Amino acid sequence: MSQIKRGNLITLEGTEGVGKTTNMAHVCEWLSTRQITYLAAREPGGTVLAEQIRDLLLDTHTEAVAPVTELLLMFASRAQHLTQRIEPALAAGTWVVCDRFSDASYAYQGAGRGIPELFIKQLEHMVQGFLQPNLTLILDTPVSQGLSRAKSRSAPDRFEREQHAFFERVREGYLTRAKKHPQRCKMIDASLPLVVVQEQLNEVLDAFVAAQPNSCP
Ligand code: Z5A
């Protein structure tokens, strides 16, 4: 009996307005062209309950949210998403492309809000076990560029109302993650024109697939 090869988890990360949503579509198209079946997902969210938690997290009409509450809600959403959608897909051999995952908790709640890394690590282990993304694409631009790109959109959510200094800490948080996990995390210079950003993504994706056991070009 042949065994199903587990799918890969690819995550996209970065600060506000770096182009994750735009480039997520590009990654999905890249996979489609190679006839790789995938599930497109996002966090916080991804199931009915997890999307309700997302609404709570982004709501601007709430009382001040304690950083630990924010972190626990992020991981509550993630636990639901993993159980209901991500794990079954990976087990069935489907790749999962996720707009943000637990690196965002280290960057936003850790570096941004000041929650100790060890606390996040413990929660991560409780919720994910040893599951980590196979590839993380960290889109990076100067904070001011990302914020001005994002400005063109609708009313800001609770995160988008944060000060510039918060996003600088978050960006630093992502750079730290990339240094800590150089095999998995690939930095993409997202300050460049979209076509150049997507060339960088293609290169990283090509190399990732070529490094898979039994990869077919
Ligand atoms: N969060 C958290 O704190 N902890 C966690 O664990 C998780 C999340 C999982 C919601 O995330 C919030 O949750 C998020 C962090 C927190 N808050 N913030 N900030 P989200 O991912 O849904 O929200 P977001 O970060 O605000 O992402 P976004 O709004 O979807 O932005 P984006 O996807 O990075 O950007 P975009 O929409 O693709 O692009 C923005 C504009 O720039 C658009 O007009 C594009 O056409 C343009 N663009 C993109 N790339 C380029 C280039 N290269 N050149 C020129 N113009 C470009």
Q: Is 77 in the pocket of ligand 1 (CB under 6 A)?
A: no
Q: Are 138 and 178 in contact (CB under 8 A)?
A: yes
Ligand 1: centre distance to CA 147 (Å):
9
The domain that contains 181 carries what CATH number?
Answer: 3.40.50.300
2 within some domain: no
What is the enclosing helix (H) or strand (E) of 207?
helix 194-210
Q: Tell the residue nearest (CA) to atom 36 of ligand 1.
A: 19
Note the pLDDT tens digit of each residue in 109-128.
999 999 999 999 999 999 99
Query: Residue by residue, what is the 3-state secondary structure of 174-193?
Result: HHHHHHHCCCCEEEEECCCC
19 within some domain: yes
Quote the domain boundaries for residue 69. 9-210
216 within some domain: no
pTM: 0.96
Note the pLDDT tens digit of each residue in 49-61.
999 999 999 999 8
Under DSSP, is residue 129 helix (H, G, I), strand (E, B) or coil?
A: coil
4 within some domain: no
- List 189's β-bridge partners, or say none: 140
Q: Are 7 and 88 in contact (CB under 8 A)?
A: no
User: Exposed (0-12), middle (13-18) or buried (19+): which is 20, by Cβ within 10 Å?
Assistant: buried
Is residue 216 over pLDDT 70?
Answer: no
> Torsion angle, CA of 167/115/75/126, rounded to 10 degrees?
140
State how many domains the chain has. 1
Q: What angle do CA 96, 44, 35 make, to 5 degrees?
A: 15
Q: Tell the residue nearest (CA) to atom 31 of ligand 1.
A: 17
DSSP of 59-79, one letter per residue?
Answer: -SSSPPPPHHHHHHHHHHHHH
* Atom in ligand 1 nearest the alpha carbon of residue 139: 34
125 within some domain: yes
Note the pLDDT tens digit of each residue in 130-139.
999 999 999 9
217 within some domain: no
